[in-house]
């Protein structure tokens, strides 16, 4: 600890005399501090302030009040919104993590065996990932087109199956939205899992081999425990990303039918920018922040202790 702290200072003493002061970092950080302060910190503080007012986007100064909080949190639709958000997030995160991990495992194996097609698969998945959210929504809307010529229904018909009401059946639509989100997001998890797999010390596998471990045992007792930190970090990242997803849903379903796919971010958007209710939107924004932070902390508590340091 102390040796570590001293070393940089010594290296400075070794340098020419007039440069032996440690330079202040703040002039260098100033642009970032200014931008982040103006565009993140100040607005977030203001969100907390607005939440205690009755401000609207229609003008006026508003008054300080606690009733917005009470009003928003007791809205009858809020429970439904939170449930929809939960299903969407859980479905997307689990799907992306599982498929991403499976793809990474298969790709690593296939590369070892010099199988054909790993690069094509990886690149295709990554192309889906680069597609902007709005375009992704539009593309999937074409696929989910419920007319007989729709991109999925005409496939189903070709295979002799009944068409599915992908976007108009309130019981199906959520899974359609999750499917489209898994399509767009999985590549990220795949890449993270792939990099983590590559970073596992090969001697662990050699040792398992010597002990006569089967492939399944190697997966459960070597690979998965070694991947644990990477899986948790990845889950934090994709959970937050999914909670904030907004453009892919607004262009695919717009939140409908009814409120079947209206997630919290879309609801917040509608409250502020369609109903002009700035104060209520601020309360919802705080709710979003609290949920993100809470989930991140829950995941982080599963990280091995030495990883936190």
Partner 1 sequence: MKLSTRDRLGDFLSYVFMAVMFVFFSWPLIWLLSMALRTRKEVFLGVARLIPKYPTLDNFSAVLTSSQFPVYLFNALKLSCLSAVGCLIIAAPAAYAFSRFDFKGKGAWMLGILAFQMISPLVIMVPLYRYMSRLGLIDSHFGTTMVYIALGVPMVTWLLKGYMDGIPKSLDEAALIDGCNRLSVFIRIILPLSTPGVASAFIITVIAGWSQFLVPFLLITKDSLVPIGVGIFQYAGTQNASTIQVLAAACLISVVPAIIAFLALQRLILSAMTAGAVKG
How far apart are CB 238 and partner 1 at their closest, in Å?
Answer: 10
In terms of CB distance, is 33 or 73 closer to partner 1?
33
Closest to partner 1 by CB, 173 vs 192, is 192
| Least Cβ distance, residue 225 to partner 1 (angstroms) | 15
* Token pair belonging to 207: 């040792």
Residue 44's alpha-carbon distances to 48, 57, 302, in angstroms, are 7, 17, 28
CB 261 within 8 A of CB 137: no
DSSP 18: G
Per the CB < 8 A criterion, the answer to whether 100 and 128 are in contact is no
- The smaller minimum CB distance to partner 1, of residues 76 and 308, is found at 308
Comparison of 189 and 260: residue with beta carbon closer to partner 1: 189
Helices (H), the chain: 2-14, 26-36, 42-50, 67-73, 76-112, 118-130, 133-143, 153-158, 173-198, 202-210, 215-218, 224-243, 247-252, 264-273, 278-301, 305-308
Residue with Cβ nearer partner 1 (40 or 64): 40
- Shortest Å distance, C-beta 308 to partner 1: 9
Q: State the minimum distance, in angstroms, from the CB of residue 9 to partner 1.
A: 8
* β-strand partners of 56: none
Give me the residues paired with residue 53 across strands. Answer: 64
For the bound state, the minimum distance from the C-beta of residue 136 to partner 1, rounded and expressed in Å, comes to: 8
């Amino acid at each position: 600890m102390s040796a570590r702290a001293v070393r940089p200072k010594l290296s400075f003493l070794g340098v020419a005399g007039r440069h032996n002061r440690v330079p202040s970092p703040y002039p260098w950080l100033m642009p970032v501090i200014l931008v982040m302060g103006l565009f993140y910190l100040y607005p977030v503080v203001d969100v907390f302030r607005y939440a205690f007012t009755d401000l609207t986007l229609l003008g006026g100064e508003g008054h300080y009040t606690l009733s917005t909080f009470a009003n928003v949190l007791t809205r009858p639709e809020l429970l439904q919104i939170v449930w929809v958000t939960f299903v969407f997030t859980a479905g997307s995160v689990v799907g992306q993590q599982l498929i991403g991990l499976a793809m990474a495992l298969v790709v690593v194996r296939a590369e070892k065996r010099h199988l054909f097609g790993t690069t094509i698969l990886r690149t295709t998945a990554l192309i889906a990932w680069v597609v902007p959210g709005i375009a992704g929504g539009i593309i999937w809307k074409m696929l989910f087109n419920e007319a007989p010529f729709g991109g999925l229904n005409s496939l189903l018909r070709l295979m002799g199956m009944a068409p599915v009401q992908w976007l108009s059946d309130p019981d199906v639509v959520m899974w359609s939205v999750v499917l489209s989100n898994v399509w767009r997001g999985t590549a990220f998890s795949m890449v993270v899992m792939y990099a983590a797999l590559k970073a596992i010390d090969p001697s662990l596998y050699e040792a398992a081999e010597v002990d006569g471990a089967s492939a399944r045992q190697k997966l459960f007792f070597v690979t998965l425990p070694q991947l644990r930190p990477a899986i948790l970090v990845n889950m934090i990242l994709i959970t937050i990303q999914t909670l904030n997803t907004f453009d892919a849903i607004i262009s695919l379903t717009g939140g409908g039918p009814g409120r079947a796919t209206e997630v919290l971010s879309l609801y917040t958007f509608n409250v502020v920018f369609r109903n002009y209710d700035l104060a209520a939107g601020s309360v919802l924004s705080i709710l979003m922040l609290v949920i993100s932070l809470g989930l991140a902390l829950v995941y982080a508590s599963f990280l091995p202790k030495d990883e936190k340091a």
